[in-house]
Amino acid sequence: MEKKMSAAEKREARFQTWISAQGVQFQSPEAEATYKAAIMRLKDAVQMEKVPDRVPVLLLATFMPPYLYGVTPYEAMYDTDKLLFAHKRFLMDYRPDFSLGPALMGAGKIFEILDYKQYRWPGHGIPETSGYQCVEGEYMLAEDYQVLIDDPSDFWVRTWMPRVFGALEPLKNLSSFTDMWEIVVVSLQMIAFGIPPVQSALKALMDAGNEAMAFIQKIMGFEMEVRGMGFPASIGGAAKAPFDIIADTLRGTRGMMIDMYRQPDMVLKAVERLTPIAIKQGVGGATMNGNPIVFIPLHKGADGFMSDEQFKKFYWPTLKALILGLVDTGCVPFLFCEGSYNTRLNYLKELPKGSCFWIFDRTDMAKAKKTIGDKICIGGNVPSGLILTGTAEKVKAYCKDLIDVAGKGGGYIMAFGTAMDEGKAETVHAMVDFTKEYGVYK
Amino acid sequence: MSKELVKFLSDLQEQEALEFVGKALEKGVDPVDLLGETKEAMNIVGQRFATGEYFIPDLIFSGEILKQIVQMLEPHLKKGKEAERLGKVIVGTVAGDIHDIGKDLVVFMLDVSGFEVLDLGIDVPVQKFVDSIKETGSSVVALSGFLTLAFQNMKNTVDAVKAAGLRDKVKIMIGGGQIDNEVKIFTGADAYGKDAMEAVKLAKGWIGGR
């Protein structure tokens, strides 16, 4: 039956699921009204069929809530109660329209057990006062493309995971799972699981799994509670642009940039191979969480990170396919576009009206409004520098300009331009409060 | 000289450039001349980047080709005759921040633009910048940072330079994805640049050079 529904109908059904808030115990009728109004506000801003009641406020506050309540990033990653305390207080005191899941901060213990090498986290290679940071590296080698293309999951399990997680290094001894067919080979395929180092790796996975269960139980308790307080979650699922999966996760920035010259065909085959996998991940998360918003953080396609020709060839086709694939299932892609996208705006015109939203960082918002404002919802652009070093007055003036220009006629979401690891009470309050007051559409 | 190498390198023709260098060395061409051509080529690359014709991948790839050419030339070059440099610039990613891509691009472009660069690396303690200024007498310092956490550590670094009595002896520039004029004012730096060529322009303005 689902096959007969149009993309718009599927989206409507997903919004209805989200707004129905199954299993949520609302603390008061007001909380329920606030929850539903927030979703309707975002829906109207994104779909652009009618002007929302006011500009939605969606804050990508990562380690900011802990920071504002004296909880260090180290404590936030090692003491889930403190993490959740800070996020809850932040919602109560600042009252943005949506909650950003504290699950994104992760649990330090899990990374320790796995001996995670691609990131450093507070207390592990970087100060306890810093949020986690990526370690650039070639976790996939230039000659690995064909192996990745042949079987991405196999590459992940037997090559990438052993390189990225010290505790999982022995998994490189496994044979490919697809080698397991009839009875004559099954017994032999089990041999690798009897190797003591492989068993240690499996034990590490189980230990990490136990930590993850303890972590997610607390997180889910928090999620249901804050929904009951009137704050819908801002993210249902997550996916990455296929080019970024390779450039961020596998090859590293430098490696991927050089590949565009030395082995362009392999890069193209690989991004195409990963596209349906990325769509599946995004849809899966959105469906599981009953929330249509699929978060897609964009990195290596920003202005300056490649030429227009390279963007057109290597980055955009599979990003577009990812967006369209998600839209087709009724999901709402939330493109989180760090850096600037001034030279890419024309490409965004190719996307269906009212299908997704783009939170920009350094993009010229007047230009964005002019170029795509008639069909695509835009947002963001409040600079981190202004929030952390500016005054309430300056922030209000900046937000006023954004609402006047980018928010004209709807289709705008107030947001930071980047994920915020720190904050300043005065300026964050000014941003939220001013938007709630001045951002009302009359 | 036909300047073929200038063209190959500046147009990012890796195979052609490397083959040309290999053959030229066989033919007995003076490696110093070849090195001169690579410098000319890298100037063109820098110009193309500054005018928006080239982008970060082009810079990275040109660096990759250059590295291979220099490796080929090195055994043939006589040691000790280091070309005269425009001046010394200290570069580093500030304390607490381990990002290096932006910083490395600045180091690379300063280097190919004729500056002597002291690269202090990533997560550089405040005191190390101060000590390096004292040791080298360098008059330009470039602070890199990707995280918002870097704002405070950039300010701390500038403050420490001031406390050491060195503030009027150096010009300090900052750069990174979230850096803007607001942050520049907060940190007390002299200027900020939005990309590697702006760093070169600032250094030239402060130290001199073409």
pTM assigned to the model: 0.95
Q: Which residue has the tokens 């147009």?
A: B11
Mean pLDDT in order along chain A per 10 residues (442 residues): 82 98 97 98 97 97 96 98 97 97 94 98 94 95 98 98 98 96 94 97 98 97 97 97 98 97 98 98 98 98 96 98 98 96 98 98 97 98 96 98 98 96 97 98 92
State pLDDT tens for residues B79-137: 665 667 889 999 999 999 999 999 999 999 999 888 999 999 999 999 999 999 999 99
Q: How far is A137 from chain B (nearest CA, A)?
A: 11
Residue A394, token pair as written in the block? 């300056």
Instruction: Supply the pLDDT for residue A101.
Output: 84
Terminal CA-CA length for chain A: 41
Residue B78 has pLDDT above 90, yes or no: no
Tell me the C-alpha distance between B195 and A379, whole Å.
25
Q: How far is A171 from chain B (nearest CA, A)?
A: 29
For chain A, the domains span 2-60+234-438
Please, are residues A117 and A234 in contact by the beta-carbon 8 Å criterion? no
Instruction: Supply the pLDDT for residue B68.
Output: 96
Residue B12 DSSP one-character state = T
Instruction: Supply the pLDDT for residue B191.
Output: 97
Residue B1 has pLDDT above 60, yes or no: no
Terminal CA-CA length for chain B: 24
Residue A344 DSSP one-character state = T
Is there a contact between A133 and B98 if contact means CB atoms under 8 Å apart? Answer: yes
Tell me the C-alpha distance between A252 and B141, whole Å.
28
Instruction: Supply the pLDDT for residue B208.
Output: 72
Q: Tell me whether A133 touches chain B (CB under 8 Å).
A: yes
**Comparing C-alpha atoms, which of A207, A193, A195, A67 is closest to residue A131?**
A67
Instruction: Supply the pLDDT for residue B162.
Output: 96
Q: Where are the CATH 1.10.1240.10 domain residues in chain B? A: 4-76
For residues B50-71, give the mean pLDDT: 95
For residues B176-180, give the mean pLDDT: 91
Instruction: Supply the pLDDT for residue B86.
Output: 86
The interface pTM score, or ipTM, of the predicted complex is 0.92
Q: Tell me whether A418 touches chain B (CB under 8 Å).
A: yes
Fold of the domain built from segment(s) B88-207: Rossmann fold (3.40.50)
Residue B2 has pLDDT above 90, yes or no: no
Tell me the C-alpha distance between B199 and A360, whole Å.
25
Q: Which residue has the tokens 């929302």?
A: A52
For residues B19-35, give the mean pLDDT: 94
State phi, psi for A113 to the nearest 5 degrees: -60, -40
Which of the residues B105, B124, B178 would you substitute to probe the A interface, choosing the one with the greatest number of A C-beta atoms within 10 Å?
A: B178
Tell me the C-alpha distance between B54 and B77, whole Å.
30
Fold of the domain built from segment(s) A2-60+234-438: TIM Barrel (3.20.20)
Instruction: Supply the pLDDT for residue A3.
Output: 59
- Which residue type, as a one-letter code, is found at position A152? P
Which residues, listed in sequence order, are joined to residue A335 by a DSSP beta bridge? A296, A358
Q: Tell me whether B48 touches chain A (CB under 8 Å).
A: no
Contact residues for B109 (Cβ-Cβ < 8 A; gap 6+): B46, B49, B59, B196, B197, B199, B200
- Which residue type, as a one-letter code, is found at position A100? L
**Comparing C-alpha atoms, which of A82, A140, A139, A125 is closest to residue A107?**
A82
Q: Where are the CATH 3.40.50.280 domain residues in chain B? A: 88-207
Tell me which residues of chain A, numbers 360 to 399, contact chain B at a CB-CB cutoff of 8 Å: 383-386, 388-390
Q: Which positions in chain A touch B45 (Cβ < 8 Å)?
A: none
Which residues, listed in sequence order, are joined to residue B94 by a DSSP beta bridge? B124
E strands within chain B?
88-93, 116-119, 140-144, 171-175, 191-192
Query: Minimal Cα distance from A383: which residue of B?
Result: B178
Q: Which residue has the tokens 């240690």?
A: A200
Residue B210 has pLDDT above 50, yes or no: no
The CATH-assigned architecture of domain B4-76 is Orthogonal Bundle (1.10)
Which residues, listed in sequence order, are joined to residue A126 by a DSSP beta bridge? A122
